[in-house]
Amino acid sequence: MSTLVLFSNYKITSFKSMRKEELDLLIGFVRDNQTAAVDLSAKVGSLNADMTCRMVFGKKYMDEEFDERGFKGVIQEGMGYTATPNLGDYIPQLASLDLQGLTRKLKAISKVYDRFLVKVIGEHVQSSSSRDENRNKDFVDLLLSFMGSEETEFQIDIEHVKAIILDMIIAGIDTSAAAIEWTLSELMKHPRVSRKVQKELENVVGKDRMVEESDLDNLEYLDMVIKESLRLHPVAPLLLPHESMEDCIVNGFHIPKKSRIFINAWAIGRDPNAWNDPDKFFPERFVDSDIDLRGRDFQLIPFGSGRRSCPGMELGLTVVRLVLAQLMHCFDWELPDGTLPNELEMTEHFGIVTCRAKHLLAIPTYRLNKS
Ligand code: HEM
Protein backbone atom coordinates (compact mmCIF):
# COMPACT_ATOMS: atom_id res chain seq x y z
CA MET A 1 0.00 0.00 0.00
CA SER A 2 2.86 2.36 0.87
CA THR A 3 4.70 1.75 -2.37
CA LEU A 4 1.73 1.59 -4.71
CA VAL A 5 -0.46 4.32 -3.26
CA LEU A 6 0.89 6.55 -0.49
CA PHE A 7 4.42 7.08 -1.85
CA SER A 8 3.85 6.63 -5.58
CA ASN A 9 5.60 9.24 -7.77
CA TYR A 10 2.18 10.63 -8.59
CA LYS A 11 1.30 11.13 -4.93
CA ILE A 12 4.69 12.62 -4.01
CA THR A 13 4.40 15.10 -6.92
CA SER A 14 0.83 16.00 -5.94
CA PHE A 15 2.15 17.60 -2.72
CA LYS A 16 4.74 19.77 -4.53
CA SER A 17 2.85 23.06 -4.17
CA MET A 18 2.19 22.36 -0.47
CA ARG A 19 5.95 21.82 0.09
CA LYS A 20 6.68 25.09 -1.72
CA GLU A 21 4.14 27.01 0.37
CA GLU A 22 5.60 25.73 3.64
CA LEU A 23 9.24 26.25 2.62
CA ASP A 24 8.47 29.79 1.36
CA LEU A 25 7.11 30.60 4.84
CA LEU A 26 10.41 29.52 6.41
CA ILE A 27 12.52 31.44 3.87
CA GLY A 28 10.36 34.55 4.45
CA PHE A 29 10.81 34.22 8.21
CA VAL A 30 14.61 33.88 7.90
CA ARG A 31 14.82 36.89 5.54
CA ASP A 32 12.96 39.00 8.07
CA ASN A 33 15.26 37.91 10.92
CA GLN A 34 18.71 38.42 9.47
CA THR A 35 20.24 40.24 12.38
CA ALA A 36 19.89 37.41 14.92
CA ALA A 37 20.91 33.76 14.95
CA VAL A 38 18.17 31.45 13.64
CA ASP A 39 17.49 28.22 15.52
CA LEU A 40 17.77 26.05 12.43
CA SER A 41 17.08 22.80 14.32
CA ALA A 42 13.76 24.13 15.65
CA LYS A 43 12.74 25.80 12.37
CA VAL A 44 13.53 22.76 10.22
CA GLY A 45 11.77 20.51 12.77
CA SER A 46 8.57 22.61 12.59
CA LEU A 47 8.74 22.80 8.81
CA ASN A 48 8.87 19.01 8.55
CA ALA A 49 6.12 18.55 11.11
CA ASP A 50 3.88 20.97 9.16
CA MET A 51 4.62 19.34 5.78
CA THR A 52 4.00 15.85 7.18
CA CYS A 53 0.74 16.89 8.89
CA ARG A 54 -0.61 18.49 5.72
CA MET A 55 0.25 15.39 3.69
CA VAL A 56 -1.13 12.87 6.18
CA PHE A 57 -4.05 14.81 7.77
CA GLY A 58 -4.70 17.44 5.09
CA LYS A 59 -4.04 20.32 7.51
CA LYS A 60 -1.77 21.57 10.25
CA TYR A 61 -2.84 21.05 13.84
CA MET A 62 -2.10 23.45 16.67
CA ASP A 63 -0.10 21.93 19.52
CA GLU A 64 -2.92 22.44 22.01
CA GLU A 65 -5.33 20.44 19.81
CA PHE A 66 -3.20 17.38 20.62
CA ASP A 67 -2.31 17.52 24.31
CA GLU A 68 -0.87 20.09 26.71
CA ARG A 69 2.64 18.74 25.91
CA GLY A 70 2.16 19.62 22.23
CA PHE A 71 2.34 17.46 19.13
CA LYS A 72 6.10 17.09 18.84
CA GLY A 73 6.51 16.79 22.61
CA VAL A 74 4.28 13.71 22.84
CA ILE A 75 5.79 12.07 19.74
CA GLN A 76 9.28 12.58 21.17
CA GLU A 77 8.29 11.28 24.60
CA GLY A 78 6.87 8.13 22.99
CA MET A 79 9.96 7.67 20.80
CA GLY A 80 12.16 8.08 23.89
CA TYR A 81 10.37 5.24 25.74
CA THR A 82 10.47 3.02 22.66
CA ALA A 83 14.23 3.51 22.31
CA THR A 84 14.96 2.73 25.96
CA PRO A 85 16.39 -0.80 26.39
CA ASN A 86 13.66 -2.75 28.16
CA LEU A 87 14.79 -5.43 30.64
CA GLY A 88 11.67 -7.43 29.86
CA ASP A 89 12.80 -7.85 26.22
CA TYR A 90 15.98 -9.58 27.35
CA ILE A 91 14.67 -11.48 30.40
CA PRO A 92 11.08 -12.38 29.37
CA GLN A 93 10.28 -13.64 32.91
CA LEU A 94 10.57 -10.01 34.10
CA ALA A 95 8.39 -8.52 31.35
CA SER A 96 5.10 -8.67 33.26
CA LEU A 97 6.67 -6.82 36.24
CA ASP A 98 7.39 -3.79 33.99
CA LEU A 99 10.24 -2.79 36.35
CA GLN A 100 11.12 0.39 34.42
CA GLY A 101 7.46 1.39 34.02
CA LEU A 102 7.95 1.60 30.23
CA THR A 103 4.83 -0.40 29.35
CA ARG A 104 2.72 1.72 31.69
CA LYS A 105 4.10 4.99 30.26
CA LEU A 106 3.68 3.83 26.65
CA LYS A 107 0.09 2.75 27.34
CA ALA A 108 -0.64 6.24 28.71
CA ILE A 109 0.93 7.84 25.61
CA SER A 110 -1.00 5.51 23.31
CA LYS A 111 -4.25 6.81 24.82
CA VAL A 112 -3.23 10.38 23.86
CA TYR A 113 -2.40 9.23 20.31
CA ASP A 114 -5.67 7.32 20.11
CA ARG A 115 -7.83 10.29 21.21
CA PHE A 116 -6.18 12.48 18.60
CA LEU A 117 -6.44 9.91 15.79
CA VAL A 118 -10.13 9.25 16.55
CA LYS A 119 -10.73 13.02 16.32
CA VAL A 120 -8.85 13.34 12.98
CA ILE A 121 -10.63 10.33 11.46
CA GLY A 122 -14.00 11.61 12.75
CA GLU A 123 -13.39 15.01 11.09
CA HIS A 124 -12.56 13.30 7.78
CA VAL A 125 -15.64 11.05 7.91
CA GLN A 126 -17.91 14.00 8.79
CA SER A 127 -16.69 16.26 6.02
CA SER A 128 -16.31 13.54 3.35
CA SER A 129 -19.70 14.18 1.75
CA SER A 130 -19.17 17.95 1.54
CA ARG A 131 -15.61 17.74 0.19
CA ASP A 132 -14.58 18.59 -3.35
CA GLU A 133 -13.89 15.27 -5.11
CA ASN A 134 -11.13 16.84 -7.24
CA ARG A 135 -9.04 18.11 -4.36
CA ASN A 136 -5.74 16.38 -3.53
CA LYS A 137 -6.51 13.47 -1.18
CA ASP A 138 -4.48 13.24 2.05
CA PHE A 139 -3.33 9.91 3.55
CA VAL A 140 -6.34 9.66 5.89
CA ASP A 141 -8.72 10.08 2.91
CA LEU A 142 -6.86 7.40 0.97
CA LEU A 143 -6.78 4.92 3.85
CA LEU A 144 -10.46 5.47 4.66
CA SER A 145 -11.33 4.82 1.03
CA PHE A 146 -9.81 1.33 1.29
CA MET A 147 -11.73 0.51 4.45
CA GLY A 148 -14.51 -2.00 3.86
CA SER A 149 -14.00 -1.82 0.09
CA GLU A 150 -14.43 -5.18 -1.68
CA GLU A 151 -12.71 -3.91 -4.83
CA THR A 152 -9.24 -3.52 -3.38
CA GLU A 153 -6.67 -6.07 -2.29
CA PHE A 154 -5.98 -4.01 0.86
CA GLN A 155 -8.43 -5.22 3.50
CA ILE A 156 -8.06 -2.85 6.43
CA ASP A 157 -10.15 -1.72 9.38
CA ILE A 158 -10.12 1.40 11.55
CA GLU A 159 -7.32 0.08 13.83
CA HIS A 160 -5.09 -0.42 10.75
CA VAL A 161 -5.86 3.12 9.62
CA LYS A 162 -4.85 4.51 13.02
CA ALA A 163 -1.66 2.41 13.12
CA ILE A 164 -0.57 3.39 9.61
CA ILE A 165 -1.20 7.09 10.21
CA LEU A 166 0.77 6.98 13.44
CA ASP A 167 3.61 5.07 11.72
CA MET A 168 3.81 7.71 8.97
CA ILE A 169 3.82 10.61 11.42
CA ILE A 170 6.47 9.10 13.67
CA ALA A 171 8.65 7.84 10.82
CA GLY A 172 8.29 10.95 8.67
CA ILE A 173 8.76 13.95 10.92
CA ASP A 174 12.05 13.56 12.75
CA THR A 175 13.96 11.57 10.13
CA SER A 176 13.98 14.17 7.35
CA ALA A 177 14.50 17.00 9.87
CA ALA A 178 17.51 15.23 11.43
CA ALA A 179 19.03 14.53 7.99
CA ILE A 180 18.74 18.24 7.11
CA GLU A 181 20.09 19.32 10.51
CA TRP A 182 23.19 17.09 10.24
CA THR A 183 23.91 18.08 6.65
CA LEU A 184 23.64 21.78 7.52
CA SER A 185 25.98 21.18 10.48
CA GLU A 186 28.58 19.52 8.23
CA LEU A 187 28.22 22.40 5.74
CA MET A 188 28.82 24.97 8.52
CA LYS A 189 31.85 22.96 9.62
CA HIS A 190 33.25 22.79 6.08
CA PRO A 191 33.10 26.21 4.35
CA ARG A 192 34.91 24.78 1.28
CA VAL A 193 32.04 22.34 0.72
CA SER A 194 29.42 25.06 1.41
CA ARG A 195 30.96 27.33 -1.22
CA LYS A 196 31.01 24.47 -3.73
CA VAL A 197 27.31 23.72 -3.05
CA GLN A 198 26.47 27.42 -3.56
CA LYS A 199 28.55 27.57 -6.74
CA GLU A 200 26.62 24.61 -8.14
CA LEU A 201 23.33 26.34 -7.23
CA GLU A 202 24.48 29.52 -8.99
CA ASN A 203 25.30 27.54 -12.13
CA VAL A 204 22.08 25.52 -12.16
CA VAL A 205 19.55 28.00 -10.74
CA GLY A 206 21.23 31.43 -11.03
CA LYS A 207 20.95 34.18 -8.44
CA ASP A 208 17.78 35.75 -9.90
CA ARG A 209 15.32 33.16 -8.60
CA MET A 210 14.74 30.58 -5.89
CA VAL A 211 15.19 26.80 -6.28
CA GLU A 212 12.34 24.79 -7.84
CA GLU A 213 11.88 21.04 -7.35
CA SER A 214 12.63 20.59 -11.06
CA ASP A 215 16.20 21.86 -10.40
CA LEU A 216 16.99 19.09 -7.92
CA ASP A 217 18.03 16.45 -10.46
CA ASN A 218 20.75 18.79 -11.71
CA LEU A 219 22.36 19.27 -8.31
CA GLU A 220 24.87 16.43 -8.41
CA TYR A 221 27.30 17.81 -5.85
CA LEU A 222 24.51 18.44 -3.34
CA ASP A 223 23.53 14.77 -3.73
CA MET A 224 27.10 13.73 -2.87
CA VAL A 225 27.02 16.01 0.19
CA ILE A 226 23.78 14.38 1.37
CA LYS A 227 25.19 10.88 0.86
CA GLU A 228 28.31 11.80 2.81
CA SER A 229 26.24 13.29 5.61
CA LEU A 230 23.97 10.22 5.82
CA ARG A 231 27.08 7.98 5.85
CA LEU A 232 28.44 9.74 8.95
CA HIS A 233 25.04 10.51 10.51
CA PRO A 234 22.51 7.82 9.55
CA VAL A 235 19.51 9.32 11.32
CA ALA A 236 18.30 5.90 12.49
CA PRO A 237 21.74 4.54 13.50
CA LEU A 238 20.45 1.05 14.38
CA LEU A 239 17.70 1.08 11.69
CA LEU A 240 14.57 -0.54 13.15
CA PRO A 241 14.70 -3.92 14.91
CA HIS A 242 14.34 -6.84 12.47
CA GLU A 243 13.56 -10.50 13.19
CA SER A 244 15.10 -13.51 11.46
CA MET A 245 12.38 -15.60 9.78
CA GLU A 246 14.49 -18.77 9.77
CA ASP A 247 17.76 -20.18 11.16
CA CYS A 248 20.72 -18.83 9.20
CA ILE A 249 24.49 -18.47 9.35
CA VAL A 250 26.11 -15.08 8.75
CA ASN A 251 29.93 -14.82 8.75
CA GLY A 252 30.10 -18.08 10.68
CA PHE A 253 27.62 -16.93 13.37
CA HIS A 254 24.54 -19.04 13.88
CA ILE A 255 21.42 -16.81 14.02
CA PRO A 256 18.42 -18.79 15.31
CA LYS A 257 14.96 -18.26 13.87
CA LYS A 258 13.04 -15.39 15.51
CA SER A 259 16.15 -13.60 16.84
CA ARG A 260 15.88 -9.85 17.19
CA ILE A 261 18.47 -8.28 14.91
CA PHE A 262 19.92 -4.77 15.12
CA ILE A 263 21.93 -3.51 12.14
CA ASN A 264 24.48 -0.88 13.14
CA ALA A 265 24.36 1.42 10.09
CA TRP A 266 26.35 4.04 12.02
CA ALA A 267 29.32 1.66 12.51
CA ILE A 268 29.11 0.39 8.91
CA GLY A 269 29.29 3.99 7.62
CA ARG A 270 32.52 4.52 9.59
CA ASP A 271 34.08 1.11 9.01
CA PRO A 272 37.70 1.52 7.75
CA ASN A 273 37.33 -1.78 5.85
CA ALA A 274 34.56 -0.21 3.76
CA TRP A 275 35.71 3.44 3.53
CA ASN A 276 39.01 5.29 3.11
CA ASP A 277 39.52 7.94 5.77
CA PRO A 278 36.10 7.06 7.25
CA ASP A 279 35.91 9.92 9.77
CA LYS A 280 36.61 12.61 7.18
CA PHE A 281 33.65 14.54 5.68
CA PHE A 282 34.62 14.36 2.00
CA PRO A 283 31.69 14.33 -0.46
CA GLU A 284 34.10 14.00 -3.42
CA ARG A 285 34.57 10.32 -2.47
CA PHE A 286 31.33 9.74 -4.43
CA VAL A 287 32.65 11.24 -7.69
CA ASP A 288 32.52 8.47 -10.36
CA SER A 289 31.19 6.04 -7.74
CA ASP A 290 27.93 4.21 -8.30
CA ILE A 291 27.27 3.68 -4.56
CA ASP A 292 23.75 4.92 -3.93
CA LEU A 293 21.40 5.22 -0.95
CA ARG A 294 18.82 2.70 -2.02
CA GLY A 295 20.09 -0.29 -0.08
CA ARG A 296 21.88 -2.04 -2.97
CA ASP A 297 25.28 -1.14 -1.53
CA PHE A 298 25.55 -2.55 1.95
CA GLN A 299 28.25 -0.07 3.04
CA LEU A 300 25.69 2.77 2.82
CA ILE A 301 22.26 1.85 4.20
CA PRO A 302 20.70 4.93 5.90
CA PHE A 303 17.27 3.81 4.62
CA GLY A 304 17.81 0.10 5.38
CA SER A 305 17.71 -2.50 2.65
CA GLY A 306 15.28 -4.98 1.16
CA ARG A 307 11.58 -5.42 1.76
CA ARG A 308 11.47 -3.63 5.11
CA SER A 309 13.56 -0.68 4.00
CA CYS A 310 12.09 2.82 4.25
CA PRO A 311 8.99 3.24 2.05
CA GLY A 312 9.25 7.04 2.44
CA MET A 313 12.77 7.24 0.95
CA GLU A 314 11.89 9.10 -2.29
CA LEU A 315 9.70 11.55 -0.41
CA GLY A 316 12.31 11.99 2.37
CA LEU A 317 15.08 12.62 -0.16
CA THR A 318 12.94 15.11 -2.08
CA VAL A 319 12.29 17.10 1.10
CA VAL A 320 15.92 16.91 2.29
CA ARG A 321 17.31 17.99 -1.11
CA LEU A 322 14.76 20.79 -1.54
CA VAL A 323 15.12 22.33 1.92
CA LEU A 324 18.93 22.17 1.88
CA ALA A 325 19.16 23.60 -1.63
CA GLN A 326 16.82 26.50 -0.79
CA LEU A 327 18.52 27.38 2.52
CA MET A 328 21.98 27.30 0.93
CA HIS A 329 20.87 29.16 -2.20
CA CYS A 330 19.03 31.99 -0.46
CA PHE A 331 21.46 32.61 2.41
CA ASP A 332 25.08 32.67 3.51
CA TRP A 333 25.37 31.31 7.03
CA GLU A 334 27.69 32.19 9.87
CA LEU A 335 27.99 30.57 13.28
CA PRO A 336 27.02 32.89 16.17
CA ASP A 337 29.26 34.36 18.92
CA GLY A 338 32.39 34.18 16.77
CA THR A 339 32.36 30.34 16.80
CA LEU A 340 34.82 29.07 14.18
CA PRO A 341 33.63 26.32 11.79
CA ASN A 342 35.98 23.73 13.30
CA GLU A 343 34.68 24.56 16.80
CA LEU A 344 31.08 23.58 16.02
CA GLU A 345 30.04 20.84 18.45
CA MET A 346 28.66 17.67 16.86
CA THR A 347 27.49 15.71 19.94
CA GLU A 348 24.62 13.31 19.21
CA HIS A 349 21.45 12.81 21.22
CA PHE A 350 20.83 9.06 20.97
CA GLY A 351 17.34 7.86 20.14
CA ILE A 352 15.66 5.77 17.44
CA VAL A 353 16.28 8.93 15.46
CA THR A 354 19.58 10.50 16.46
CA CYS A 355 19.60 14.28 16.19
CA ARG A 356 22.01 16.94 17.45
CA ALA A 357 22.31 17.19 21.25
CA LYS A 358 22.47 21.00 20.98
CA HIS A 359 20.36 22.94 18.49
CA LEU A 360 22.15 24.31 15.44
CA LEU A 361 22.09 28.13 15.44
CA ALA A 362 23.37 30.31 12.60
CA ILE A 363 23.14 33.91 11.35
CA PRO A 364 21.78 34.29 7.81
CA THR A 365 22.60 36.86 5.12
CA TYR A 366 20.33 36.96 2.07
CA ARG A 367 22.35 36.35 -1.11
CA LEU A 368 19.97 36.42 -4.11
CA ASN A 369 19.69 39.42 -6.46
CA LYS A 370 15.93 39.78 -6.34
CA SER A 371 14.43 41.52 -3.32
C1 HEM B 1 15.80 11.29 5.21
C2 HEM B 1 14.66 10.80 5.61
C3 HEM B 1 14.44 9.39 6.09
C4 HEM B 1 15.33 8.43 6.53
C5 HEM B 1 16.85 8.56 6.65
C6 HEM B 1 14.57 7.24 6.85
C7 HEM B 1 15.12 6.06 7.33
C8 HEM B 1 14.39 4.93 7.64
C9 HEM B 1 14.95 3.71 8.15
C10 HEM B 1 16.43 3.48 8.43
C11 HEM B 1 13.94 2.83 8.34
C12 HEM B 1 14.08 1.39 8.88
C13 HEM B 1 14.54 0.46 7.78
C14 HEM B 1 15.02 -0.86 8.28
O15 HEM B 1 14.96 -1.15 9.47
O16 HEM B 1 15.51 -1.64 7.45
C17 HEM B 1 12.72 3.48 7.95
C18 HEM B 1 11.47 2.91 8.01
C19 HEM B 1 10.30 3.57 7.73
N20 HEM B 1 10.20 4.84 7.19
FE21 HEM B 1 11.70 6.11 6.77
N22 HEM B 1 13.25 7.48 6.62
C23 HEM B 1 13.11 8.76 6.14
C24 HEM B 1 11.94 9.42 5.78
C25 HEM B 1 10.68 8.85 5.86
C26 HEM B 1 9.44 9.55 5.53
C27 HEM B 1 9.36 11.00 5.04
C28 HEM B 1 8.42 8.67 5.77
C29 HEM B 1 6.92 8.85 5.67
C30 HEM B 1 6.26 9.96 5.72
C31 HEM B 1 9.01 7.42 6.24
C32 HEM B 1 8.29 6.30 6.56
C33 HEM B 1 8.85 5.12 7.04
C34 HEM B 1 8.06 3.99 7.50
C35 HEM B 1 6.54 3.90 7.51
C36 HEM B 1 8.98 3.02 7.91
C37 HEM B 1 8.64 1.66 8.52
C38 HEM B 1 8.62 0.60 7.48
C39 HEM B 1 8.25 -0.74 8.08
O40 HEM B 1 7.33 -0.80 8.92
O41 HEM B 1 8.90 -1.71 7.77
N42 HEM B 1 10.38 7.57 6.26
N43 HEM B 1 13.01 4.77 7.53
C-alpha 8 – ligand 1 centre gap (Å): 15
C-alpha 34 – ligand 1 centre gap (Å): 34
Atom of ligand 1 nearest to the CA of 242: 15
pLDDT tens series, the chain, 371 aa: 888 889 999 999 999 999 999 999 999 999 999 989 999 999 999 999 999 999 999 998 877 777 778 777 888 888 889 888 899 988 999 999 999 999 999 999 999 999 999 999 999 988 877 777 777 899 999 999 888 777 777 788 999 999 999 999 989 888 999 999 999 999 999 999 999 999 999 999 999 999 999 999 999 999 999 999 999 999 999 999 999 999 999 999 999 999 989 999 999 999 999 999 999 999 999 999 999 999 999 999 999 999 899 999 999 999 999 999 999 999 999 999 999 999 999 999 988 899 999 999 999 999 999 76
Is 248 assigned to a binding site?
Answer: no
C-alpha 332 – ligand 1 centre gap (Å): 31
Nearest alpha carbon, ligand 1 atom 30 = 172
Mutate to test the pocket of ligand 1, among 182, 243, 310 (most ligand atoms within 8 A of CB): 310
C-alpha 149 – ligand 1 centre gap (Å): 27
| pTM metric for this prediction | 0.94
Nearest alpha carbon, ligand 1 atom 1 = 176
Ligand 1, pocket residues at CB < 6 Å: 52, 167-168, 171-172, 175-176, 179, 235-236, 239-240, 302-304, 308-312, 315-316, 320
What is the pLDDT at residue 68? 78
What is the pLDDT at residue 135? 78
User: CA-CA distance, 276 to 168, in Å (whole number)?
Assistant: 36
Atom of ligand 1 nearest to the CA of 308: 41
- Quick one: which of 169, 164, 180 has its CA closest to 75? 169
Starting from the edge strand earliest in sequence, which strands make up the sheet with 361-366, in order? 38-39, 361-366, 331-334
C-alpha 172 – ligand 1 centre gap (Å): 7
What is the pLDDT at residue 371? 60
